[in-house]
Amino acid sequence: MGVGSFITLGLIVVLVIYLISIYNNLVALKHNVSKAWSNIDVLLKQRHDELPKLVEVCKQYMGYEQETLEKVMQARSQVQSAQESGDMKALGAAEGQLRLGLGNLFAVAEAYPDLKANSNFQHLQERISGLENAIADRREFYNESVNRLNIRIEQFPDILVARNLGFKAADLLEFEEEEKADVNIKALFE
């Protein structure tokens, strides 16, 4: 075996090691996306469990605000459906509607001093607000993980490994601009 054969064999070994490294990095990124989604999923389930309690407490005080309560529960149902289907675009839209509904609910609750003073309402409002903040933090981490994966599977030479081994781009969890806007409290009381 000549020097040329050793060089060729050495290059092949280096190339194989490099391709294995690319593959392992892509696998790690894919699992980071899954882990980030699992963190959001847990928080969504916790919030999902808290919302009926909040609505029940509010029903005791807000007899004339059925539409607001129904919108929150309808949005909750849409979030659950999108979550179960794994459709990030639908989940983003449903989340926006739920956040808007909760904002409206908390704004309307301002007109009910007895409700605002209720310890169950205060606890649930704090709990749900805390979960909302945690979901926003986790969504940022999820989107960063998705972005890293999507960039890597489009870069050369990673794209060669990604295409041949079935790595797919993941969807970002995004909210529409109007769904992120502040609630118009004045309009709620007109």
Distance of CA 172 to the CA centre of its chain: 8
Break the chain into its structural domains and give their ranges. Answer: 29-37+45-188
How do residues 99-144 score in pLDDT, each as one tens digit? 888 888 888 887 788 887 888 888 888 888 899 889 889 999 999 9
Entry pTM: 0.72
| Per-residue pLDDT, 153 | 93
Burial (Cβ within 10 Å: 0-12, 13-18, ≥19) of residue 32: middle
State mean pLDDT over 11-31.
94
Q: What is the largest CA-CA distance in the chain?
A: 91
How do residues 29-66 score in pLDDT, each as one tens digit? 999 999 999 998 899 889 888 888 888 888 777 665 77
| Per-residue pLDDT, 15 | 93
Burial (Cβ within 10 Å: 0-12, 13-18, ≥19) of residue 13: exposed
54 contacts 124 by C-beta, under 8 angstroms = yes
How do residues 159-173 score in pLDDT, each as one tens digit? 999 998 999 999 888
Q: Is the per-residue pLDDT at 84 higher than 50?
A: yes
Nearest-angstrom CA–CA distance, 157 and 152: 9
82 contacts 94 by C-beta, under 8 angstroms = yes
Q: Is the per-residue pLDDT at 76 higher than 70?
A: yes
| Per-residue pLDDT, 136 | 87
Q: Is the per-residue pLDDT at 1 higher than 80?
A: no
Fold observed for domain 29-37+45-188: de novo design (two linked rop proteins) (1.20.1440)
Of 153 and 53, which is predicted with more confidence? 153
Mean pLDDT for the chain? 84
DSSP structure class, residue 182: P
| Per-residue pLDDT, 64 | 56
124 contacts 53 by C-beta, under 8 angstroms = yes
188 contacts 109 by C-beta, under 8 angstroms = no
The sign one gets for the Cα dihedral 108, 111, 113, 114 is: negative
Nearest Cα to 171, choosing from 148, 143, 138?
143
Comparing 138-142, 145-149, 178-182, the range with the smallest average pLDDT is 178-182
| Per-residue pLDDT, 141 | 92
